[in-house]
Every structure is written in structure tokens, then in C-alpha cells.
Amino acid sequence: MKSPLTYLLLMRLKNQVLSWLKSPAKLIYLLFIAAMLAMVVFSGQANPAMPQDRRDIHELTAGLFALYLLLYVLLAQRGFGQGASLFRLADVNLIFAAPFRPRSVLFFGLVQQMGQSLLLGVFLLYQFAWMRQLYGVSLPTLLVILLGYALTVFSAQLTAMVLYSLTSGDDKRHTVFKVAFYGLLVAYGGYVLTRLLADPDHVLDALVTAGNSTVTRLVPVAGWVGAFVAGFAMQDRLLAVSGIAACLAYLVLLVVTVMRARQDFYEDVLLTTESNHNAITARKEGRLEDAAPRRVRLGRVGLNKGSGAAAFYYKHVVENRRSRVLLLSGQSLVFIVTVLAVSFFMQDIGLLGMFAFSSYIQIFSVAMGRLNRELLKPYIYLVPDPPFAKLLHSLRESLRSHVTEAVVLFVPLALLLRISPLNCALCILARVSYAYLFTSGNLLTERIFGAGTSKVLTFFFYFLILTLLALPGIVLAIMAGTVTGALLALLGANIPMALLVFFLCRNILQTAEFNNR
């Protein structure tokens, strides 16, 4: 093969496939994922909605634009801080030092990142059943939605790289680009707000209209990708072609900018690549203090109170105060906005359907909780207090966060779905019960498997354990028959189950070796 970089890409792909085939845990996990995907696709194909029963496809295209815009902003704004990189540390150590032209190395990173961007959007394939049922989405359209997701992620990462390359070392230029970036967001937010104020009695219709307007189609990247997906879904060839053409032209402009602005872009990505690699390594080894961002909002420092096991409660309170935006952390706000956005477009599934969706999303927010990260550090094991006391004080901290998150989520949902105050209060309590049920599932998984087991196999059994823990409450909720009865059934099943698991795992904090056996 003439090109060593092409050979390297193909060998990486081949070795990845071989690693899956040679690892029983990875193979079982892949077969399970494939089986679930096949089940979702076949079930969606088998139960298509009749044309007269389908919802307006414009609701879906507006929601997809919001998803693409959120992804693009979150990823692209990294260019004003640490930047983004298309390379791994191995590339920096080997390929950057090899006698390749910078242009060839850049395209190697682009192709490599494009494949990773596609893999990131695989979760969208599991949404086929409800998209098919509500909007009549075909399988080719779903694949185009996945392609739009990959294009958005890829464009955002390349944008972050270009922004960092153009603004690093120049404070004035950094300020100009940052004001322009966020100024466009504020301007578009003002446009959406104007549309809402023009028709305050029909919020959903106003949002859908704004999400499919000409102004929205002109929003960089997210609007163009949204136009491409909407044009394909609605068989509007001109809209689809114009959207994908604008997006591809933008990508070409970014690549040309990198090559023209600074032919030797190695220094721009070296620091970012090394920092990303160190952060990933620190997370794997449990050194989360080394994985923290370089800029941390301190505020007041020191615990000032608490001793022994109680010190972990005050420690987590301080960490939460530093990480939160207004009342909640950034990740909690993202999850809540996601659920509220979905609720706008899926009001027909009712309160229990939205509660089930929010509980599914809650699995991921609970998995990022303070206690799970504390288990990776040695300090909580070294405090000479009873392990059960340390566990209870660590759980005590999360109560405030879980209650606040539930209130912020379900009060707007109660107004949107017009549910009674009693059911709203029960939803809040049931969500808190699920938070502790999922936390107990994390502890049980750590207690059984520890750190020495394959992560893929642990991940598989983690969801299996959560399913078994949640199953009694789900069965009782189905038997209840009413919304109020179902929420009471969830409370009555989740709380005893979580308390039982906490009691069985009461010695998990005795020693680190005991946990990692």
C-alpha cells in the first residue's frame, strides 16, 4: 500500500474488530446490542402508524434542530478554552514525528474523527420505534438523522480546533470571536422569544414554527444540518441539497483555514491532545483530581465543619456548589432540558410515559454522582469510622440535589401536562426514590464485580442489575391501573429495595481491596 497513513487506519480498524472477536465479554455485549437494535428496527417496521394518525413531521425536525444546536454549541465553545483535538497521544508521539506533510496528517485526523463521530450517534438508532410510530419515519430517514448527528459533532470539533488555533495567544482576537459566537446565540434566542411572545397561547406551535423557519435554516451548522435532514424527511430535494452543500462548504472552509492560517498546526493540538489523554488516564486510574479542568471556581474554601464520616457530606456540598449553574450542575441542567424538550413533542404519551423517559435519562445522571466518583479515591476508605456511617453521610449529600432536580423538572411538566398537585408531588418523590434505587445498583455492581472485571461485562451486568431492582416497582405500577396508584406503587417498591441493597453493601467502604475484589 502506497500510503502509510491509509494502512494505519485500516490496521486500526482490523485490530479493533479482532479485539471484539477475541474478548468474550465484548462479543457478548456486541451481540446483545445488535439483538436489541434488530428488535427495535423490526418492531418499528411491524407497527407503522397510519398516515391519518401520524403527528406533524415538523415537530420532529424542530426537535432535531434543537439537538444539533445544543451539541454544536457545547462542543464548539471548547475552542475558547482548552481547544479540541482530532488526534490521540499515540498520533502525536508517532505520526507528528514522522516525515509526513502536515496536510496529510490533518486529513488522517479528520477521517479518524469522522468515524468516531458516527459511532457517537448510534444511540439514535434505538429511537426508531417511536419515531416510526409517531411520525412515520423510515429506516433511510433514521440513517440520515444519524448522519446529521455525526456531521454536527464532527463540524463542532473541527470548529473548536480552528477557534483555538486562531485565538490562542491573542486576547483581543479571542474576545472578538467569543462575542461573535455568543452574540449569534443571543440573537437567535431573541428571535425564538419574539415568536413565543407573538403567540403565547400556543407555545408548542410557536416553537415548531420557529424551528422550521427560514431564519433557523440559516443558523450555522445546526440549521444547515437540520435543513438537510428535514428536506430528506419531507422529500424536499432543494432543501436537502442546499443544507448539505452549505455544511460541506463550511467544513472545506475550516480545513482551508487551518492549512492557510498556520501550516504547522502541531503546536496548536499538542497541548490539547496531551491534556485530554492525561484526563482520560486519570479517570481510568481513579485520580480524578488530575482530571479536573484547569480553571475551577473556588469561592469559599475549606470545610469549616464536619469531622470523621460527616466530613464527606460537607466535602460534597462544597464540590456541588463549585460545579453548579444556578441551582444545579451543568450536566443536570442538560438532562432536564432534554426531558422538557421531549415532553413538548410527546405530550400524548401522558404523565407515566414522561416519567418513564425521565427515569431512563436519570440512570446516566446518577451514574455521574459524587458517591460513584468518591469510590475511586482512597480517602473515603482511610477514615477510621464505621463504613456504614461513611456510606450514609455520602448518601446524605445527594438528597438535596435529587430533590432540587426533581422539583425543577416536574413543576414545569405539571404545568405543561396539567397534572394535579398530588401527582406532581408523587412524581417528585418517585423520582427521588429512583435516584437512590439507581445509586444502590451502582453500589451493588461495585460490590460484586469491583475494579478487576472487564468494563464491558460490568456495564452489561450493571443494566441487568438495574432492571432487576426496578422490576418489582414496574410490575406493581402496571397492576395499579391509575396514575396515582402507579406512582404510589413505585414508591412502595423502590424505597424498600434501595434500603435493602444499601444494608447489604454497608461494608463496601471498609477497605479499597474489599471493594475491588
HSE-CB at 100 with a 13 A cutoff on CA atoms is 21
**Residue 42: closest CA among 118, 137, 139:** 139
The whole-angstrom separation of Cα 272 and Cα 264 is: 15
d(CA 403, CA 420): 19
Say how many CA atoms lie within 13 Å of 99 toward its Cβ: 0
Residue holding cell 442546499? 242
What is the DSSP code (8-state) at residue 30? H
∠ CA(70), CA(72), CA(74), 5° rounding? 65
Whether 114 contacts 154, CB under 8 Å: yes
The alpha carbon of 194 is separated from its chain's Cα centroid by a whole number of angstroms, namely 29
Rounded Cα gap, residues 286 and 376, in angstroms: 5
Instruction: List the one residue out of 84, 107, 80 whose CA is nearest residue 95.
Output: 107
d(CA 249, CA 155): 11
CA-CA-CA-CA torsion sign (139, 142, 147, 148): positive
| 64 vs 69: CA distance, rounded Å | 8
- Rounded CA-CA distance 131/496 in Å is 36
Q: Report yes or no: 432 and 487 within 8 Å, Cβ to Cβ.
A: no
Which H or E run contains 329?
A: strand 328-329
Q: Could you count the other beta carbons within 10 Å of the beta carbon of residue 359?
A: 21
Quote the pLDDT of residue 246.
Answer: 92
pLDDT at 517: 44
C-alpha cell at 103: 496536510
Spans of the chain below 50 pLDDT: 1, 263, 285-294, 452, 516-517
Q: Which helix (H) or strand (E) holds 325?
A: strand 324-325
82-113: buried (b, 16+ CB within 10 Å) or exposed (e) per residue? bbbbbbbbebbeebbeeeeeeeebbebbbebb
- Looking at this protein, which amino acid is placed at residue 254? L
DSSP state of 296: -
Q: What is the pLDDT of residue 326?
A: 63
Q: Which residues contact 235 (CB under 8 A, 6 or more apart)?
A: none
Q: Let me know: does 114 contact 85? Beta carbons within 8 Å.
A: no
Note whether 67 and 146 are within 8 A (CB): no
pLDDT digits (tens, 9 = 90+) for 185-201: 999 989 988 988 887 77
Scanning 299-386, the segments in alpha helix (DSSP H) are: 310-323, 330-345, 350-367, 370-374, 379-382
Closest CA to 436 of 369, 358, 489, 376: 369
Q: What number of CA atoms fall less than 13 Å from residue 212's CA on the CB side?
A: 19
- φ, ψ of residue 324 to 5 degrees: the values are -80, 155
- Residue 447 has a pLDDT of 77
Digit-coded pLDDT (tens) for 151-168? 888 888 888 877 877 776
